[in-house]
């Protein structure tokens, strides 16, 4: 797993430097945050010498791999000022930050690295591209406008037997599908009939569908 994560970092454009005890530092030119990775059995007594050359890195996160697991009570045995440690209990799959922190970035990075995927840089993950159904909105708007014009021309919102003659006249006037008229040359009715609605209830159900 350690080698896989190192490879993922390399593929993500991170600069890797081998340190003592098979530890590795990882930095990226676009970040002021660095990573140090290694095994719990080789945990050094301090990290000062390793991070001193990096004046442009303001924060370091240390990922400590614990292949045989770790007891959370052991976390306080070693303290490293200004260093955020992350103990990864690989036996149980737990990640222990010390000192405690709610920073979501490292857990997200580690999950991506462990899956072999390049990590997204920056404090925030990229926003998913949301699909906007512009064509649907356009058709809804056209249907509403067409219906309002028909109502203005005399179409009733709630047609009934007493308004049937008037409503049929408006529907035909605005392009209702009438086979005899289509055969007579009104081919355009094949298109306009898609915007014809017999009352508000008909319109609502069609727009909902």
Question: Is the pLDDT confidence value at 144 over 90?
Answer: yes
Q: Which pLDDT value is given to residue 130?
A: 62
Question: Is the pLDDT confidence value at 156 over 60?
Answer: yes
The model's pTM = 0.53
Q: Which pLDDT value is given to residue 126?
A: 45
Structure tokens belonging to residue 98: 């010390």
Place of tokens 């301090």: 46
Mean pLDDT on 131-147: 89
CA-nearest of 83, 21, 93 to 48 is 83
Q: Which pLDDT value is given to residue 129?
A: 52
Mean pLDDT on 169-183: 89
Domain residue spans in the chain? Answer: 2-114, 134-208
Question: Is the pLDDT confidence value at 56 over 60?
Answer: yes
Question: Is the pLDDT confidence value at 108 over 60?
Answer: yes
Question: Higher-confidence residue: 163 or 125?
Answer: 163
Mean pLDDT on 146-169: 86
- DSSP β-ladder status, 84-89 and 94-98: antiparallel
The DSSP 8-state label assigned to residue 26 in this structure reads E
Q: Which pLDDT value is given to residue 110?
A: 81
């Amino acid at each position: 797993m350690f080698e896989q994560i190192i490879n993922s970092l390399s593929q993500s454009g991170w600069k890797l430097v081998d340190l003592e005890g098979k530890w590795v530092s990882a930095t990226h030119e676009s970040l002021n945050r660095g990573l140090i990775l290694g095994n719990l059995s080789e945990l050094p007594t301090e990290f000062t010498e390793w991070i001193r050359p990096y004046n442009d890195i303001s924060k370091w996160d240390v990922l400590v791999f614990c292949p045989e697991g770790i007891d959370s009570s052991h976390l306080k045995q070693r303290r490293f000022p200004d260093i955020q440690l992350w103990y990864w209990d690989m036996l149980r799959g737990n990640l222990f930050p010390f000192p405690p922190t709610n920073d979501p970035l490292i857990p997200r990075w580690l999950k991506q690295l462990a899956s072999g995927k390049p990590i997204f840089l920056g404090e925030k993950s990229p926003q998913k591209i949301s699909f906007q159904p512009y064509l649907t909105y356009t058709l809804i708007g056209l249907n509403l406008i067409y219906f309002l014009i028909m109502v203005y021309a005399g179409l009733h919102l709630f047609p009934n037997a007493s308004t049937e003659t008037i409503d049929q006249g408006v529907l035909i006037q605005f392009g209702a599908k009438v086979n005899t008229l289509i055969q007579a040359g009104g081919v355009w009715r094949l298109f306009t009939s898609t915007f014809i609605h017999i009352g508000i209830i008909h319109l609502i159900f069609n727009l909902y569908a």
